[in-house]
Amino acid sequence: MANSKKLGVTAIATIALTLSTAMHSNVSYASEATLKDLEQASPWAQALIQEAHQKLLVNGDREGYFHPLQQVTRQEAAVALANVMGLEQSDTVSSSYSDVPSNSWSVSAIEAVKKVGWMQGSQGTFRPKNVLTREELATILSRATQVESSEDLSALKDNQKISSWAKDAVSSMVSSGIMTGSNGNFHPQMPVIRQELAAILLRVDEMQSNMNLQTIEKIENGSVTIGNTSYRVSDPLKSFFSENNVAALTKAGIRVETVDGQITKILALELVAPGQAAAEGKEEFSGNTVLDAGKAVVEGKVKVAADYITIKNITIKGDFEIGKELNNDFYADNITVQGTTYVKGGDDNTVVFDQSSLQEMNISKEEVRVEAINKTVVQNVNIESKLSGLWGDPSITYERVTIGEGVQNASLYAHVRNLEINTGNEETSISGNGQLESVTINGSGTVALQGTGMIGSVTIKDTTSKISFPPNVTIQHIVLPAGVSPEQVILNFDRVKTQIATINGSSNPSYTAPTGGGSTAPSSGSNTGNTGGGSVTPTNPGTGTTPTTPNPNPGTSIRNPFTVKTYKNRTETTADAMLTSTKTGQVYYMAVKLDDNVRPTVEQIKSGTLPGDFSYAHGEVSVTANELKTFTIEGLEKSKAYGLWIVFKNAGEESPYPLYLNISNYRTNDVTVLPYDTTNLDQISIQFNGVLTPPATTTTDPAAIFKDGRLRNYGYGFIEIDKLEWDLTIPDMAIMTIHFDPVTLGDGTSYRLDWQFVKNALSIKYTSPSGSPTSISFGGHGSYSGPEVVNLITKQLAIETGNTVDPTKGEAVMHILEAYPSPLKQELGLNEFNGLRYQEALALQAGQYMTFNDVQQIIGAVNQAYPAPSNTEASAIRDFNNSQNAAQIEYYLKRVADVLTIDADLYNALHQVARTEIAQTVLNKRNVLPESKFTSIEEIRSAYELAYSQSSSVPISVSFVDTDTTAGHIGGEIVWIPGAENSSVVGFELLWGNGGQPVSSLTTVDKNDGNRYTLPQGTVIPADANQLLLRALLQDGSETATIGITIKDTLPLAPAAPSITNDDARNILIGADSSMEFTVDNGVNWISYDEDNPPVFPGDVYVKVRVKADPVNQVPAGETEFVSFVDNVYMYIGINDAGNTFDTGYISSAMEYSSNDGETWTTYDEENPPQFPGDLTILLREKASDILPAGPAKSFTFTSQVHVLTGNNALLTSLPTLEYSLDGGVVWIALNVDKAVQIQPGDVVQVREAARGSFPAGAPTDYQY
């Protein structure tokens, strides 16, 4: 900012707070409410209005409407100025203006601003209801803020239109940045509307904040130099100004409060000293500059305006801004923000909030990833950027997330309780694996819900909305607008109708069962505190821990540097790859659809190129040794499996071959034990958030659901469940209540209750894409208190173990041992795979162990005899035992292949069908073991080797590219790769298929004929077929499972979007021709463009234009170009009442007017503009066209304006609209502008507005000489 741009700080501080109070006469002072009509604002203004609303700079009315296009009046501006500047206002003041009544709500303010000279009227009138023009507002703000003029206005295209009295004020406002124009114009005579004022107030607010800061020059020996003054520091702030923070506070902007030369409060702060990117081999964020505030409080705003910064242990009472100057990493640890957090900077490598508390968050930075971890609380999040991501670990629940109208894609990888989506003209997509409890969709746009997480209820507000839901995700409730059927608003209803449980409160007859994920890591619904994933959340950067959320994985081979190679958060369009390497270097990757049967080479992956007509995603990332690297793969197709091929390279080494990872989808469910008293406890209620197996909710026999029909009562034994009942008020959120004899927990007799469910009796079930039945099962619950806990657990252990060896009790004994409180449980050193051995050893010494030390000796002896597997092996065994379906077994076979010492490349090279068969065989083998669990790596490996030998004859891949461009016909080469074990194969059969099932046989090919078949050109695709299938024929007459690919019939490409614009003033398209068509209803109806009779688009209308389809040449319709028209009458038109005309800047012959309340309408004549003398009410609107009705009419009032000078026996006027009479109105003579007419003393002169066209003259005014 130039030195000449001086701003009156006090004035700015108050004007930003109070201009909003006069912006609407029906003001609401609550900024928490969502503005209902934000979509009416221009796209550029919506985020600014939201920010200004959150900062209490502007408000909506009591009904929650903002009125973004409403004009601001002069009396509203007067009230605002009087209030903000603290001008003295009297309740009994008399009005000095003829048009301001003395009892008006604005009179005292108007008189106050008149007194100080900020606003003046003319000719005895103030014109209180006249709208405020842009040059008038510039003048008012210039006087109030004292900003000096320093801008050459010649750069403004319309500078000649700026009134001479306003030029200096406009110069000062433009030079300070407080006001701007558009397309090089300032539009001085246009009225100020509310959306503009919101933007102006934000600039004023930011300028005030910036200009009030001073620079920290030095911190040394407990003294701080700010500007040219040194201060001592009060005790509460010594940690903040410690020498440890010198780097972070270098040249920081700050505003402080001092008492007797000592800093007592920090009022505002801006950090400008950047850190560095993490050095190679170091953890992410380790190069950040760290500000440890030592629990200091900042009373106002804090801004981070530099890269690589960490801020921790601070409370911010004002707003917190991550500025646009920050383009890389930012980390916040243990911060509290009582105002709004604005994310205007950052990158896709994460803005992290750790153990923090935020009230409001507004995300406007494009392609930023915001992550909350470790129980961070964020109440409300507003996403305004077109592309961004919101993440959260399992401890996070975002209470409310609002998606703005201009958002194209929001990736939600977190639990969201309430999601509100405001649709615009472009499609809004929501991706990610986050659980969405409640979704509300506003507006008439298109929404694509593409996530893989659970969806609770979806409420659709607008009858013209278009929604698509993801496959394989259950939607518990759909609420539609009255009178609307699901087919009208749900684009893919036929595909997803079986996933929707209820519609408008009634059961959906098409609903069968929720469909779920395939290759996923298992999740747990246990309510014992185990989240099932073992996820690790980041801790404070700068202390040696990388902020990531890994699931630790073992490596794959000696030639493979990756100890973690997996993915998470599979959405319909993205997946997050997760890698941990033993070495630092670059990772190149390429994701190719499995259907394409392509295995790229090392060089292709590194260059990011692939020959042929294949779609793929590629990129490169840096990895640091032994640190988890997570990166997002974009552009994946819906419901497609991908092979992710990876190459590692550093200065001295490179992968000799690509490493492989298969990518699929993901799903979760949960259960909650409702709160209860621990005194005289006789019942517990459990709520299930998901669709339980239907027979379960009709079961009232406790033994049918709870193992042995009892609860484990620690220190006492067991309590029988007396009764079980269900509350099914909400079908998909059933509540089960169990009743039992009263017990008081923590009284020395009992301290905890838990239970086990009968296997598969109570679970949320779904079917995986492979067809395998899958269920989410649940564990028990406990409560800890009381002084005799250890003895009670030991007593319960004896009860549970008994005095005989029982191989069915291993799990129960382990459960009791794990109940010992920490650190005793750690001292036991339990090996989770030794449960049966522990039971045996304890049973053989029944009656001999009475204390924890006795138990510890027995467990220690068992552990010495049977050592625990390594952490990596234990993790692998645990994963296989927790897997609930074949898809999860397959996931872990790939993930821990090196631990199992199996060849991951051989397994990954198999087709998905073969991999699924192998995984199912391994699962079946596990399920026949004691307690259905593996106890060693050797058991898993043996099961895998058996399964591999049985399934490796399935063909590995099949590919086909259609070279026939005729619709409905195909031709070309079909090529396949036989299975890994080919000795028992005699040939192959090609088939037509649909949905993976054969329709008819195409041909058989001998094993020795080259693994290919030429399909003749012009081959007709059977009507019921959409796939080519392949299977191997075996020597014993059987065949393998079938693999296949989708037939892609090659057709001409769609034309590009046409290059067109619009003439908004005349409501027509520019550049369109008869080869095009357009739609005004978002594609419901398309109309051919008529060059001889071009269509006209009155009012506010959104038009899409495209090149028409060419059926003869099989060319589809082209891509669409979007053009918008605004209602110029409501947006721009005003009147010149003195001149009896409309302002001509924006009016045109596309409009029409009526002087008889709409009975008849006349086209506006631009060549001979009509005049409206006297007192007239004129309606003006944009004319109707063949395709659209006329725009809404706006009323304008013309009043008789007779302004003359009568001194010196002369009659003089500056208005060209008047005439006079000297004979009582018999003869009327035109009164020429600026030409005096001499009048004789004693004469009576009548003056009136002259008649024009069909409009009569105005009422005369008499003047006596």
pLDDT tens digit sequence for 406-424: 788 888 888 899 999 988 7
CA-to-CA distance for 878 and 874, rounded, in angstroms?
6
Q: Which residues contact 857 (CB under 8 A, 6 or more apart)?
A: none
Lowest-confidence region among 17-26, 409-418, 1177-1186: 17-26
Do strands 1101-1107 and 1121-1125 pair parallel, antiparallel, or not at all (unpaired)? Answer: antiparallel
The torsion angles phi and psi of 941, rounded to 5 degrees, stand at -60, -45
Name which residue leads in pLDDT, 751 or 508.
Answer: 508
- Of the candidates 291, 327, 342, 332, which has an alpha carbon nearest to the alpha carbon of residue 51? 342
Does 201 have pLDDT greater than 70?
yes
Cβ pair 440, 418 in contact under 8 A: yes
Does 1078 have pLDDT greater than 90?
yes
Lowest-confidence region among 8-17, 225-234, 519-528, 728-737: 519-528
Does 541 have pLDDT greater than 80?
no
| For range 993-1013, the mean pLDDT | 92
Residue 349: the pLDDT is 62
- Of the candidates 891, 765, 779, which has an alpha carbon nearest to the alpha carbon of residue 474? 765
Encode pLDDT of 102-131 as tens digits: 888 888 888 887 877 778 887 788 888 888
| For range 781-801, the mean pLDDT | 79
Lowest-confidence region among 24-33, 361-370, 1050-1059, 1161-1170: 24-33
| For range 692-708, the mean pLDDT | 86
Query: What architecture is the 1061-1126 domain classified under in CATH?
Result: Sandwich (2.60)
Same fold, 957-1044 and 1061-1126: yes
The 3-state DSSP class for residue 1252 equals strand
Cα four-point dihedral sign 17, 20, 22, 25: negative
Does 1190 have pLDDT greater than 60?
yes
CA-to-CA distance for 460 and 464, rounded, in angstroms?
10
What does the mean pLDDT of the chain come to?
82
Cα 1200 to the center of its chain, rounded Å: 56
Which pLDDT band, with edges at 50, 70 and 90, does 663 fall under?
Answer: confident
The neighbouring-strand residues paired with 649 are 586, 654
Does 446 have pLDDT greater than 70?
yes
Which pLDDT band, with edges at 50, 70 and 90, does 5 fall under?
Answer: very low
Name which residue leads in pLDDT, 1126 or 638.
Answer: 1126
The label of the residue with tokens 């949960």 reads: 670
Cβ pair 586, 650 in contact under 8 A: yes
Residue 771: the pLDDT is 56
- Of the candidates 1252, 1208, 1199, 1209, which has an alpha carbon nearest to the alpha carbon of residue 1230? 1252
Do strands 562-568 and 957-960 pair parallel, antiparallel, or not at all (unpaired)? Answer: unpaired
Lowest-confidence region among 655-659, 680-684, 1009-1013: 655-659
Burial class of residue 995, CB neighbours in 10 A (0-12, 13-18, 19+): exposed
The 3-state DSSP class for residue 723 equals strand
Cβ pair 403, 424 in contact under 8 A: no
CATH code at 957-1044: 2.60.40.10
Q: Which residues contact 320 (CB under 8 A, 6 or more apart)?
A: 301, 302, 303, 335, 337, 339, 340, 341, 342, 358
CA-to-CA distance for 781 and 504, rounded, in angstroms?
35
Cβ pair 7, 207 in contact under 8 A: yes
Cβ pair 56, 50 in contact under 8 A: no
CA-to-CA distance for 544 and 546, rounded, in angstroms?
7
Does 968 have pLDDT greater than 90?
no
The neighbouring-strand residues paired with 562 are 581
CA-to-CA distance for 1160 and 351, rounded, in angstroms?
61
Does 10 have pLDDT greater than 60?
no
The label of the residue with tokens 């993930």 reads: 895
CA torsion angle 946 948 953 959 (round to 10): 160
Encode pLDDT of 215-240 as tens digits: 899 998 889 999 888 999 999 999 99
Q: Judge if the upstream peptide bond of residue 1016 is cis by omega within 30 degrees of 0.
A: no
Name which residue leads in pLDDT, 157 or 798.
Answer: 798
| For range 168-176, the mean pLDDT | 81
CA-to-CA distance for 875 and 896, rounded, in angstroms?
9
CA-to-CA distance for 179 and 176, rounded, in angstroms?
8
The label of the residue with tokens 């969502």 reads: 34
For 132, 385, 581, 887, the CA distances from 921, given in Å and listed in that order, are 78, 48, 31, 12
Lowest-confidence region among 20-29, 351-360, 597-606: 20-29
What CATH class is the domain 562-663?
mainly beta
Lowest-confidence region among 26-35, 901-910, 917-926: 26-35
Residue 570: the pLDDT is 63
Cβ pair 474, 482 in contact under 8 A: no
pTM assigned to the model = 0.38
Residue 589: the pLDDT is 92
| For range 140-150, the mean pLDDT | 72
Question: What superfamily in CATH does domain 1129-1198 come from?
Answer: Immunoglobulins (2.60.40.10)
Q: Residue ranges per domain, the chain?
A: 9-72+131-211, 215-346+356-363, 562-663, 679-865, 871-951, 957-1044, 1061-1126, 1129-1198, 1210-1264
How far the first Cα of the chain sits from its last, in Å, is 60
Residue 1156: the pLDDT is 93
User: 398-402: long-range contacts at Cβ-Cβ below 8 A with a sequence spacing of 24 or more?
Assistant: 398/372, 402/34
Encode pLDDT of 582-615 as tens digits: 889 999 999 988 767 677 888 889 888 887 778 8
- Most confident by average pLDDT, 197-211, 695-709, 822-836: 695-709
Cβ pair 1129, 1194 in contact under 8 A: yes
Does 1129 have pLDDT greater than 50?
yes
Residue 1031: the pLDDT is 94
Structure tokens at 23: 């912006």
Residue 854: the pLDDT is 94
Structure tokens at 827: 């001292």
Residue 773: the pLDDT is 54
| For range 540-555, the mean pLDDT | 31
| For range 858-863, the mean pLDDT | 94
| For range 160-181, the mean pLDDT | 82
Residue 523: the pLDDT is 27
CA-to-CA distance for 1124 and 960, rounded, in angstroms?
44
Encode pLDDT of 242-264 as tens digits: 989 999 999 998 988 889 889 99
Residue 80: the pLDDT is 66
Residue 683: the pLDDT is 85
CA-to-CA distance for 99 and 95, rounded, in angstroms?
9
Lowest-confidence region among 51-60, 306-315, 1140-1149: 51-60
